[in-house]
Structures are given as structure tokens and as C-alpha cells.
A and B are shown apart, each in its own frame.
Chain A
Amino acid sequence: MSVVRAIAWRKLRFRFDWTLTSSAAVVTCLGLVNLWSAVHEKQSNLFSQQISWLGLGAAVFLGVATLDYRTISRYAYVLQGAGVALLCGVLLFGKMVGGGRRWFDLGPFHVQPSELMQLLTVVALGKYLNDSPALERRTWRHLAIPVAIVSAPALLIAKQPDFGTAFLLLLIFFTVMMTARLRVKTLAAILGLATLAAAPIYQHLLHEYQRKRFEAFFNPGSEGGYQTRQALNAIGSGRFLGKGYLHGTQIRLRHFPALWTDFPFAVWAEEWGFLGSVALLAAYLVLILWILKIAGDARDRFGATVCVGVAAMLFWHVLINVGMVSGALPVVGVTLPLVSYGGSSILTIAAALGLVMNVSVRRFSY
């Protein structure tokens, strides 16, 4: 094993993907800069905690990158099973926060298994798609196992309840399946059914506060729209060049819940303006497009699928988070990858990027 490890390290050193690492590092640094602005007045301990998480994340990134991803694919279903078990555990023993059980309370840390679950699902899907090739485009028949893989965590997460993350998981799932040659017709049929199912789900399955968020989105004047309105004011008032670093006013003078987990983009946009927002988004775009390029270069379906999955994960996170912060989408608890404060999110993304690095390093070798 140690020999294998040593070879892996050498490969990593020679074929280290600097574009991937540096674009991720840029996003991370901007996120840190922003986090300091958001927390330095009240909760500067969050900043040092985030530094620790990032350190741990770097280790995870390198660790995952050095493992041969084929080894990982071998344990994909086991990992998926473990993840589902964690989700069950969180429903039973999780900490009650704001009307939902989403966290394990581990003393100083809170762990949110639903973040990790997204990655594990991507890996499991990669494993399935790798092991069962299809000679023609995939239809309903080929969907049975993937749906089984994704529905268990999706339902458990929805039960927490965290419809935002559950929805995100489905988006990632469909993105991966589309790339894995799912028929467009089939997808259209699924989306049609989902639309039909939306109304009863909204009426019967959603909690009161969730419905309120949706209503707030369509009616920003209502009471529930407070957060969105504050975020909009913050972003808009940043104008073209922003108010300057540490000079954001709206965010710090107003009471703003979930500022550093769900709304860091509002802080960024207020202080750095349109120009800064575009810069941050550009860094994300480079990262995501590079991951998709790695997917295109991958030697096998597992590597390609995992990369597409990770890219989808990042893309939908960014799109939904910025969309909700800028008032274009309802408020759902979706983090901004590498920028939001939180260990579960950081470690998950780190592991995901490690996997991508793994695929990138091994694209020529068999």
C-alpha cells in the first residue's frame, strides 16, 4: 500500500492540476476576506474556526486526490449506505434547530450529513453508470437503480425537513443522468410529472414557514420578505464599485439572520459592488468549466460522471444561492461553496475537488 501511495504522490506532483487548485483557492480566499468583513465585529471566532476547517479541507483534498479513484469507486455503495445511515441517525438523534433536524451536535462542531450526502450520491451514481453501460440512450428502464440511489437520501433530507438541499440533490441527479445519455423525452416526462406533483407537495408536505418563504418571494412586502428585502438593499446599494471593504452598512447595521452561512454573497456584493460580484462569479465559472473539461478528458465513465456531478453540485449551489440572495429565487438554505461559513460544506467540497483532482491526475494512466 505504501508503494502505491508513493507512486500516487509522485503522479500528483508531476500532474498536479494547478488551474483547478488555483481557481478553487481564489474562491476560497475571496470567501475568507468576505467572512472577516461579515463576522469581525461580533463573532470573530467564526473566522478562526473557518481557517481550521479550510486547513482540514486542504488535507482532505490532498488525501482524496492521492487515493486511486478506482479504489473509491469500489466502496461507492458502501459509502452511500453509510451516508444514508447517517441521515437516518440525524433524523433520530439530530439537534433541533429552527424547526428541523439537520445537524449532529458534536460538542464544538455541528455536522450536517446532507452536504456530504450530495457527494456520496454522485459517487454512487458514477459507480452505477460505470458498471452498467448502455448501448443506446437511457430510458425509464435504466432509471430504476439510479432513482433508488438518489431517492433514499432525497426523501430523508426532505424529511428533516430541508427541501432546498433535497431539491438540489435532484438537480444534481438529473444533471448527471442527462450527461449519462438519458433521453431528453424521458427527462421531459419526469419534469412534467414533477410539475403536476408540485401543487400537492406544496399544500401538504411543506411546513408553514416554508410556504411563507415562497409567499414572501412572490410578495416581497410581506413580513417573511424581510431577509430578502435586506439582502436586495445590500446588493443594490453596492452599485458599480461597492462601498469598500469593511464599509458595508446595510448588513451590519440591520439585524440579519444566517448572514455568514446563507447570505455571504450579499455582504460581498455590497462592499465590492457589481465589479466584485462579477469577479467572484468569474472565479466560480473558471472552476466549474475546468471541472467539466476534466470530465471530458476522463478515461472512464466513473471519472467523467463524478466530475460532471461535482460541477453540477457547484453550479447549482452557486446559482441557487446567488439567485435567492438577489431575490430571483425563494429563500432556501443553500450554501455558497467555499465562501459560506461551515465545516460540513467545506469538507464536502474539499473532498469533491480532491476527487476531481484525482481524475485529472489519472486521465492518461491505466
Chain B
Amino acid sequence: MEIAGQDAELPEIRRRARYFSLIVMAGFVAVVGRLFYLQVIEGESFYRVTSDSIVRTDVLPAVRGQIRDRKGRVMATVRPSYNVYVTPRQLTSEGFARLRTVLGMNGDEAIDVWERLQGAPTARDGGGAAAKNAERPVLVAEDISREAMAAIETGVDLPGVKIESGPRRSYPNGTLAAHALGYMNEISAEELRAKKDEGFHPGDLIGRTGVERQWDGYLRGHPGFQKIVVDRRGLPKTDIRDVVEGPSTQAAVPGNNVVLTIDLDVQKATERAMRAVSAAGVIVMEVETGRILALASKPSFDPNEMSGHLTPEAEQRLLADRYHPLHDKTVGETYYPGSTFKPVSALAALEDRLTTPEEKTKCHGSYEFARRRFRCTKTHLTVNLHDAIVQSCNVYFYELGSRPGMLDRLAKYGSDLGLGAPTGLGLNGEEGGFLPTEEWYRDEKRKNPKSEGFQMGQALNAVIGQGSTRVTLLQMVTLYAAIANGGKLWLPQIVERVESQDGQTLEEFAPRVRRELAVSPDSLALVRQALVGVVNESKGTAFKVRNKDAKDVEVAGKTGTAQVGTGRGEGGYEAATHAWFIGYAPAGRPKIAFAVLVEHGGHGGDVAAPVAMEVVRNYFDNVDPADKDAPRVGQTRRHVGRGASAEAGPATAEASP
């Protein structure tokens, strides 16, 4: 094969072969560069994509802690519920029709569910998404009845339908103490974003009101997870391991139990005592600890219903109710205190030596001041401070109110007694109330020249708990408890301790004194004496409705009939006065304090006091009989005034004609 030119051509071929070697190397460098980019630079993100696509993380929900009363009785718990899931691919239309009958869906619901089952496939993640969706079970009904469950379980002709049990919040006592307990509902997308790190997942319930909300962090626990390797149809593949980084399962940590200071018996008796009124709030508190025994707001709601799937009709009904069932009247609303404010006025006057227990005023049924006439409830004739509280004489207090600087003194002593600022319980959006000052009125005038500005008349209104003074029931019950216990203003307490699920105490909350009142023990004793008189002296405004049985404990308290001043015409429900009764018992050795407010109920002594009397009677009959033999302190003092006892009427300022 030696051919001419062969040798001449070979070196050139060799040279070009070497060039080709360079091209080969360049090609390999390019490929290696590409791989370096994919595997080293972008490797982590590819790895995440692949592990996300093959690892399915199932959330293991944490069992929510119980809420119990102070004696360990369950007020909120978790029970199993049965939910219906349907795998769209396997469901036939006949099967759906049968399922619809079993679950009792109406036409709209059925259409809604059917559309959800047929749900438009998301084309986002390429082909196979529709098929994937059709394989995934869809929740169509929650918490079905036992009958429906039995029907589905035995119905072999329901392909693609399965029942799974899941935990569900349950409030075994229904509407009882609903405002204290609160309710839960599904977490919103926004909250989910904000609380990403707290272990929330879409569809989780979160406490919305009451203890469920305030103590959600304690009750919730931590959800666990289980990571499963799945193939592209979402079916588990058990033979592939070592893909999951970190632990593949983590057990859920159950939530803790929250033990309330509420006593279920007291709560029940309290709500029973409210049966005759339509809208009211009652708080019962331990005088020596500040612990709340009962917190009742009427009308109530069923937290089972609120925490489940509230139907639009039920929601509409709750929102349209004129008595505002969702509103917590004990802490979330402020009212004029009316005559129940008089002890505050009395303490202010005594401390600042504006009056003495002996000083007397003549009541002719009204008080003339600055060419205006301020009315009293009736003609009390000659009264001293004690009588003025017992008989709820406004004129005596108008006289005090006309002293210079009285409005600011009320603000000063009122805030010392815990008014004008939230007590610190923090439940249900606790309101702070309001105590006006002269400066505030002048400020208002500056902002709005049409308003009156400060005038002495405002002090006259404030001194009898009207005008601009606003309080909450919780503030008042804490205040009266402080009067009863000799000057300790408690931080109101509704949670006694936190327990683990197996009953170990994790955290215990001792009673906390907010402050010792600045007022002298003598002044407090004088006010206490008067409060005893309100119920136990024949002229007292609550004498008629006292617990008359000699075995019953003595009650001390103050009635109030607060003008609401909505000015919404005459005679309507909303125009009627609020009825107050606030006090403590037993009078001789105070154990419990209470505050009763009946919205638009009328006269405090007629409407609110009987509720309180029943609560007290029940408490010392059934819950704490040991305190029944407390020393009796009533009727030790002769009546000063004359005439039959009567309820304090509407007490408000009115311009003279």
C-alpha cells in the first residue's frame, strides 16, 4: 500500500489529529463545566427540589390540652370525630348520590361538594397533575353522626369513600362559661404567614376568644411529623431509605391542660340565677385571692358550634341578636357605674377630709347648682354619709361634688382603686373604662369648641357615677373585693395552674396583689358598714330583696341604676337603665365578691340584687358551707333617716326648666 504522497500527507494528518485532541479536551472541559454548575453550584437547590418531590411530610397533629375548672372538671376537651374523605377517581355518580343521601346534603351543598371533587386540575406542575389530584382524597364532610358513619361503613357500594377519625375540640358543658372559655376557628392565611415558625399548618384551628385564645400557646402543643418517601403517584415506597435529612418522624407533643380558677358549680348557679334576665354579666371573685369563681355573660353562645363549621345562618343569627351574644359583657364592655360608684366618691371625700362621718346634709329631693336642678331619687331629709350610701341619696353626693377639685379627686382615688385602666386579666379584649378629669373636659373643649368644657355640673354627675365615667364589671368586682378585704387590690386571676396531660403541675400561679390601696382602713371600714346597711337596714336600697332566712349569710353591697343616655326615644329597651348590684358576702368575714349588671334591666335593687342574692345563697349552701357561721354585723346600728326604704331611682342631672 505504499502510495505516492502517503508520507507527504501523514504529518499534516497527525498535526490535525492533535488539533482535534485539543477540541476533544475543550469539549470535555465544557461538559465538566456544565456539570460543575449543575451539581456543585446549583446542587443544593436541585437536591431540595428532588427531596421535596419524593418526600411527603405528614403532619401528626398535637392533642390540644384540656381546660378544667378548679376542681379538675373538664370544660373543654378533645374528642374523636369522624370525617368523610372521597377519592375523586374512584367515585361514581351513583355512589355520590348514595353518599349525598346518607350525609343528608341539600342541593347547594351537594353541588358545592361535587364541584370540589371535580376540581379543576392545576396545570401548573405539568402533565399528570390532574391524575394526581384525582388520586388524592378530598374531605367532604366533617364530624358526621354515628348513624351516617354506620351507613357508610356498611355500604359496600360506596367506592372511593372512606372515613377517617380526627380530633375535634369539644365543650361538654355547651354554652356554660362560653365567654371565659372562648372558641376556636381556622387560622387565616395571613396569620399562617405571620406565625410560620410556631408550628401552624393550613387548616389548623386557633383560639379566637377567651382562655382558648389567651392560653393558646400552652394548650396547643407541638405537632409532630412523619416523612414518607413516595413515588410520583404519591404512593409510599418503603424500600427507599436514607433520603430524608434529619429525623424521619417526630412525635407530636401534646398541649398542656389549663386549670381555671372558675368553679363549675358556682358558674352553673350563677348562670341559673340569670335565667330571668335577657342580657347581663356577672362575675364572682374570691375576696382573699382575686381569683374568679364565675364569669358569666348572657346571652351566651355554644363554643361547639362556633368552633365547628358555623353555618352562615347561625352566624347571621348571632351577629343580628340585639343582646350581642358574642360580646363579653364582663370585661369587654364599659358601663356607667351609677350609684355603685358612690363608695369611691365617699372614700375620696373622707380621705381628703371634705366630709366627716357625722356631717349631715338635708335632702329635699333635688339639688340646685348653677341654675340647674340635679334630681335625687326621692326626698331623704337629713342624711349623713352612711345614710347617703345606704339609701343612695344623690343630694348628699351632689353637695360633695360641688366642692372644688372634686372631679380630679375622684379620678385620683378612682384610679387608685383600679378604675380607668384594664385590671390586667387581659381576656377578651379587656376594656379599661374611663375616669374624666377637669383637664380632659378642657381638652375636649379645645378640640371641639361646641362642647361645654369643664363645668362643675360634670363633677356633680361624676360623683354619682354618671357623666363620662365608664367602668367594667371586672374593675368593679375587684374594687369591691379590695374594700371587703381591707385594701388589697388583686390582679384578677382566671388560670390557677398549667398541668401536663398526665396531671403534673408545670406552672402554678399564686394570687398577686396589684397594690395596697392608699385609703385608710378607717375609711374602708366606714364604707363597709354602709354597704352592710344597704342590704340589712330597713331603709337600705336592697333590704327588700335580702336573703331573709336566718341561716343565710349576710350580704353587703351597693345597688346602682345607671342612666344609659342613648337618647333613643322614650320607652324602648335600649333606653331603660342598667341595673347594678355589687358587693360581697358574708358581710362579717368577706369570702366572695360579686358584680351583677343587668343591661337595661331597670332598678338595681329590684333586678340585679336578687340575682346576686341567689348566687350568694347557692355558694354558701352548696359550695362553701363552712363560711356560713361568719359573724353577723348587720342591724347593729339604728337608722338615722325616716320613711320606708326604697330603691334609688334614675339619678341624673337635668337642666331646670
- Whether B46 contacts A237 by the Cβ 8 Å rule is yes
Contacts of A239 in B (CB 8 A): 39-40, 43-44, 46-47
Q: A239-B40, A301-B6, A319-B31 are in contact. Are A253 and B20 (CB under 8 A)?
A: no
Report Cα–Cα, A243/B526, bound state, in Å.
85
Q: A296-B17, A304-B10 are in contact. Are A253 and B231 (CB under 8 A)?
A: yes
Contacts of A179 in B (CB 8 A): 13, 16-17, 20
- Whether B12 contacts A328 by the Cβ 8 Å rule is no
A4-60 interface (Cβ within 8 A of B): none
Q: A252: shortest Cβ distance to chain B, in Å?
A: 8
- Whether B39 contacts A281 by the Cβ 8 Å rule is no
Contacts of A244 in B (CB 8 A): 242
Q: B27: shortest Cβ distance to chain A, in Å?
A: 5
- Whether B50 contacts A277 by the Cβ 8 Å rule is no
Interface string of A230-270 (1 = CB under 8 A from B): 00111111111001100101101111000000000000010
Q: B153: shortest Cβ distance to chain A, in Å?
A: 34
- Whether B24 contacts A253 by the Cβ 8 Å rule is no
Q: B600: shortest Cβ distance to chain A, in Å?
A: 66
The reply on A292 being an interface residue by CB < 8 A is yes
Report Cα–Cα, A254/B125, bound state, in Å.
14
Interface string of A299-329 (1 = CB under 8 A from B): 0111011011001100100110011001110
Interface string of A218-240 (1 = CB under 8 A from B): 00010100100100111111111
Contacts of A285 in B (CB 8 A): 24-25, 28
- Whether B9 contacts A133 by the Cβ 8 Å rule is yes
The reply on A207 being an interface residue by CB < 8 A is no
B1-55 interface (Cβ within 8 A of A): 1-6, 8-10, 12-14, 16-18, 20-21, 24-25, 27-28, 31-32, 34-36, 38-40, 42-47, 49-51, 53-54
Contacts of A315 in B (CB 8 A): 24, 27
Secondary structure of the A contact surface, majority rule: helix
| CB-CB nearest in chain A for B12 | A181
- Whether A181 contacts B9 by the Cβ 8 Å rule is yes
Number of interface residues of B (CB under 8 A): 50
Contacts of A278 in B (CB 8 A): 32, 35
Contacts of A243 in B (CB 8 A): 243
- Whether B20 contacts A175 by the Cβ 8 Å rule is yes
Interface string of A191-224 (1 = CB under 8 A from B): 0000000000000000000000000000001010
Report Cα–Cα, A326/B27, bound state, in Å.
14
Contacts of A70 in B (CB 8 A): 1
Q: A247-B242, A326-B34 are in contact. Are A236 and B46 (CB under 8 A)?
A: yes
- Whether B50 contacts A319 by the Cβ 8 Å rule is no
- Whether A236 contacts B240 by the Cβ 8 Å rule is no
Partner of A223, one of B28, B127, B242: B127
Q: A249-B240, A304-B14 are in contact. Are A235 and B9 (CB under 8 A)?
A: no
Report Cα–Cα, A252/B241, bound state, in Å.
13
Q: A234-B50, A269-B39, A326-B35 are in contact. Are A253 and B232 (CB under 8 A)?
A: yes
Partner of B39, one of A277, A298, A327: A277
B575-608 interface (Cβ within 8 A of A): none
Contacts of A235 in B (CB 8 A): 35, 38-39, 46
Report Cα–Cα, A34/B20, bound state, in Å.
29
Report Cα–Cα, A226/B42, bound state, in Å.
19
| CB-CB nearest in chain A for B27 | A319
- Whether B39 contacts A323 by the Cβ 8 Å rule is no
Contacts of A298 in B (CB 8 A): 10
- Whether A281 contacts B31 by the Cβ 8 Å rule is yes
Q: A239-B44, A249-B240, A277-B39 are in contact. Are A181 and B34 (CB under 8 A)?
A: no
Report Cα–Cα, A318/B64, bound state, in Å.
60
Interface string of B100-134 (1 = CB under 8 A from A): 00000000000000000000000000110000000
- Whether A295 contacts B6 by the Cβ 8 Å rule is no
Contacts of A308 in B (CB 8 A): 13, 17, 20
The reply on B309 being an interface residue by CB < 8 A is no
Contacts of A143 in B (CB 8 A): none
Contacts of B243 in A (CB 8 A): 243, 247, 249
Q: B586: shortest Cβ distance to chain A, in Å?
A: 75
Contacts of A269 in B (CB 8 A): 35, 39
Q: A358: shortest Cβ distance to chain B, in Å?
A: 14
Report Cα–Cα, A326/B33, bound state, in Å.
11
Which one of B9, B24, B25, B231 has the greatest number of beta carbons of chain A within 10 Å? B24
The reply on A289 being an interface residue by CB < 8 A is yes
Report Cα–Cα, A322/B28, bound state, in Å.
10
The reply on B403 being an interface residue by CB < 8 A is no
- Whether A237 contacts B242 by the Cβ 8 Å rule is no
Q: A135: shortest Cβ distance to chain B, in Å?
A: 6
Report Cα–Cα, A226/B129, bound state, in Å.
13
- Whether B50 contacts A237 by the Cβ 8 Å rule is yes
Contacts of B99 in A (CB 8 A): none
Contacts of B31 in A (CB 8 A): 281, 318-319, 322-323, 326, 328
- Whether A281 contacts B32 by the Cβ 8 Å rule is yes
Q: A233-B46, A237-B46, A238-B43 are in contact. Are A255 and B232 (CB under 8 A)?
A: yes
- Whether B21 contacts A289 by the Cβ 8 Å rule is yes
- Whether B127 contacts A253 by the Cβ 8 Å rule is no
| CB-CB nearest in chain B for A255 | B232
Interface string of B527-545 (1 = CB under 8 A from A): 0000000000000000000
The reply on B272 being an interface residue by CB < 8 A is no
Partner of A295, one of B17, B25, B49, B232: B17
Contacts of A240 in B (CB 8 A): 39-40, 43
Report Cα–Cα, A232/B35, bound state, in Å.
10
Contacts of B5 in A (CB 8 A): 133-135
- Whether B229 contacts A253 by the Cβ 8 Å rule is yes
Q: B355: shortest Cβ distance to chain A, in Å?
A: 86
Interface string of B179-192 (1 = CB under 8 A from A): 00000000000000
Partner of A288, one of B6, B13, B24, B44: B24
Contacts of B10 in A (CB 8 A): 298, 300-301, 304
Q: A175-B20, A253-B231, A292-B18 are in contact. Are A233 and B49 (CB under 8 A)?
A: yes
The reply on A151 being an interface residue by CB < 8 A is no
| CB-CB nearest in chain A for B231 | A253
Q: A137: shortest Cβ distance to chain B, in Å?
A: 8
The reply on B237 being an interface residue by CB < 8 A is yes
- Whether A292 contacts B231 by the Cβ 8 Å rule is no
Contacts of A103 in B (CB 8 A): none
Report Cα–Cα, A153/B21, bound state, in Å.
27
- Whether B4 contacts A292 by the Cβ 8 Å rule is no
- Whether A296 contacts B18 by the Cβ 8 Å rule is yes
Report Cα–Cα, A89/B44, bound state, in Å.
50
Contacts of A327 in B (CB 8 A): 38
- Whether B232 contacts A273 by the Cβ 8 Å rule is no
- Whether B126 contacts A178 by the Cβ 8 Å rule is no
Contacts of B50 in A (CB 8 A): 233-234, 236-237, 249-250
- Whether A236 contacts B20 by the Cβ 8 Å rule is no
| CB-CB nearest in chain B for A296 | B14
Closest 10 CB pairs of A and B: A236-B46, A133-B5, A239-B43, A274-B39, A237-B50, A296-B14, A237-B47, A179-B16, A237-B46, A236-B38
Given contacts A133-B9, A235-B38, A249-B240, 19 further A-B contacts (CB under 8 A): A70-B1, A133-B8, A181-B9, A233-B49, A237-B51, A239-B40, A240-B40, A247-B242, A249-B243, A253-B230, A253-B231, A269-B39, A274-B43, A278-B35, A295-B17, A300-B10, A301-B13, A312-B20, A326-B35
- Chain A contacts to B: CB under 8 angstroms: 70, 130-131, 133-135, 175, 178-181, 221, 223, 226, 229, 232-240, 243-244, 247, 249-250, 252-255, 269, 273-274, 277-278, 281, 284-285, 288-289, 292-293, 295-296, 298, 300-302, 304-305, 307-308, 311-312, 315, 318-319, 322-323, 326-328, 366
- Chain B contacts to A: CB under 8 angstroms: 1-6, 8-10, 12-14, 16-18, 20-21, 24-25, 27-28, 31-32, 34-36, 38-40, 42-47, 49-51, 53-54, 126-127, 229-232, 237, 240, 242-243
Identify 7 residue pairs between A and B in the complex whose beta-carbon atoms are under 8 Å apart, listed by A's number.
Answer: A135-B5, A180-B16, A181-B13, A236-B49, A249-B50, A274-B35, A278-B32
